[in-house]
Amino acid sequence: MEFLLHNTASGERDPIQASDGKTVRFYCCGPTVYGPAHIGNFRTFLIQDLFRRVCEASGLKTTHVRNVTDVDDKTIRESMAQGMALREFTASWQEKFEKDCAELNLLAPHHSPSAVDHIDEQIRLIEQLMEKGHAYQGNDGSVYFRVSSFDRYGELAHIRRDAQKENADGRINSDDEYSKDDVADFALWKSRKEEDGANYWESPWGDGRPGWHIECSAMSMRYLGPSIDVHGGGVDLTFPHHENEIAQSEAATGERFVRHWFHSAHLMVEGRKMSKSLGNLYTLADLKEKGYQPEEVRWALLSGHYRKTLNFTFDSLKAAQKALGRIGDLVEKLDLQAEDIDDLAPDQLEGDFRSAWESLLTDLNVPQALGFLMKEISRGEKSAGSLSKDEAVRWFASCRALLNTIGVNLEAWLSRRVSEEDTAASAPEEISKMAEARWAAKKEKDFAEADRLRNEISEAGWLVKDTPDGFELTPVS
């Protein structure tokens, strides 16, 4: 069965193919590293990771590039506000981002280029656009892309040229309106400004810095060539970012930039997009603090269809926790040694496990796949006592194969559960009693007493952490 994915450009479900017959070349717009990535960002990156896993499980090789946006208004503004050099500032956020990626079991991209490390490539691309008459220097010294020079502008987002003008109130291509020939034109190179401090580079058009859009075109071309198979990002990037990427790339090379555009819908909180600027965000650390495991967060963030907005709720995390708990209980009941069980390829799956895999191949339908998986879990629970050893092993191998494709690391989750049970059991009785008293005080809203007990517990060398169902004790290492 072919892997089909909705393509924003065609409006259809198109098959995923490697146009060079070898590898699917896949570019994702990466994080802007000026603060912690929130779970909304991770929804998008997880969906992209799922796409790559499904490609690879279906036998397609991939080359995956995800850039790091480390030079833009926000990274410059924040680094300066904190009195730090841009690189030093962005490196610390990038490191945190990568740590969260690893915990959420995101496959590391084959290349993670940073915009600051590719200024030369961006300058060369702008030079090509200047030579071909698609770009001009405005009277503020900045270089702009002339949108009217590119006929297909607006095709991806299905926006007519006159509508762009109607919308041109500064929200879409919000550069300095008076310096450019047309309000729809966008900056390729921004001339040096006082407020950018030391963050400027030399160029044929004077000191300055690249615009955000050109970064992605230059890095995509550098690592994947002028024409690629799939380009992904959150739906907010469709316009103007991806529209601008197409215009400047195709105007420069004369080749089709991207065959398949892959956009995912947003994670919402109470009807609004989760975002750094609205401040309505949760990070992985926030959720871990509340006692949820990364595998549960991954499950919950992937549980809605990627083309529909997903409302973030703690109930969805609890549902993920419960589903993994049911699998864990069943594995215990079946008395299986996971490490002795061989891996199973998705095309060896049968029954509802097979249907689940086929759901993933059909526009990454995770909710349907999880529905089939839950059916197999119920079936396993009902027949656990009567399964032969071979049947039990096959059930586990199928379940693990499917979860691996979704990227939920069952073994990591199971081993953490066992070690937590061990630590909980090993806390001395007096410590457990104090922790119970603290929990009771908390429930009575006697926070002073709860804090006092927490300190006493911590002085005795134990850390007490709240979980959705109570508390957890871990020795302070």
122 contacts ligand AMP (rule: CB under 6 A): no
Please, where are the H alpha helices in 104-230?
119-131, 161-166, 212-224
Judged by beta carbon distances under 5 to 8 A according to partner kind, the member of ligand AMP, Zn ion, none in contact with residue 216 is: Zn ion
Site for ligand AMP, residues 413 to 442, rule: CB under 6 A: none
Between CA 74 and CA 64 the distance in angstroms is 26
Residue 233 makes contact with ligand AMP by CB under 6 A? yes
Which value, to the nearest 10 degrees, does the dihedral of the CA atoms of residues 318, 320, 325, 331 take? 180
- Regarding 29 and contact with Zn ion (CB under 5 A), the answer is yes
Q: In this structure, what are the phi and psi dihedrals at residue 233, rounded to the nearest 5 degrees?
A: 180, 170
Choose among Zn ion, ligand AMP, none what residue 31 binds, the Cβ cut-off being 5 to 8 Å by kind.
ligand AMP
Return the DSSP state at 36. P
Residue 280 Cβ vs ligand AMP, minimum distance, rounded to whole Å: 9
| CB nearer Zn ion, residue 115 or residue 366 | 115
Q: Which of ligand AMP, Zn ion, none lies near 44, with the C-beta cut-off 5 to 8 A by kind?
A: ligand AMP
| Of the residues 7, 32, 62, 67, which one makes contact with ligand AMP according to CB under 6 A | 32
Please, what is the minimum distance in Å from the beta carbon of residue 174 to ligand AMP? 16
- The structure tokens listed for 266 are 């947003």
- Candidates 274, 370, 402, 403; binder of ligand AMP (CB under 6 A) is 274
Buried b (16+ CB within 10 A) or exposed e, 95-120: ebbbebbebbbbeebbebbbbbebbe
What tokens does 433 get? Answer: 């009693």
Q: Is 212 helix (H, G, I), strand (E, B) or coil?
A: helix
> What residues have CB less than 8 Å from 69, skipping those under 6 apart?
29, 30, 31, 32, 33, 75, 115, 212, 215
236 binds, among ligand AMP, Zn ion, none (CB under 5 to 8 A by kind): ligand AMP
**By CB under 6 A, is residue 75 in contact with ligand AMP?**
no
Instruction: From 110-118, 210-218, 276-284, 405-413, give the range in contact with Zn ion by CB under 5 A.
Output: 210-218
Site string for ligand AMP, 38-57 (x = CB under 6 A): --xx-xx-------------
Strand pairing category for 267-269 and 310-311: parallel
Verify binding: residue 237, ligand AMP, rule CB under 6 A. Answer: yes
Contact criterion met (CB below 8 Å) for 162 and 209 = no
Q: Which residues bind Zn ion (CB under 5 A)?
A: 29, 216
Q: Which residues bind ligand AMP (CB under 6 A)?
A: 29, 31-32, 40-41, 43-44, 69, 233-234, 236-237, 266-267, 273-275
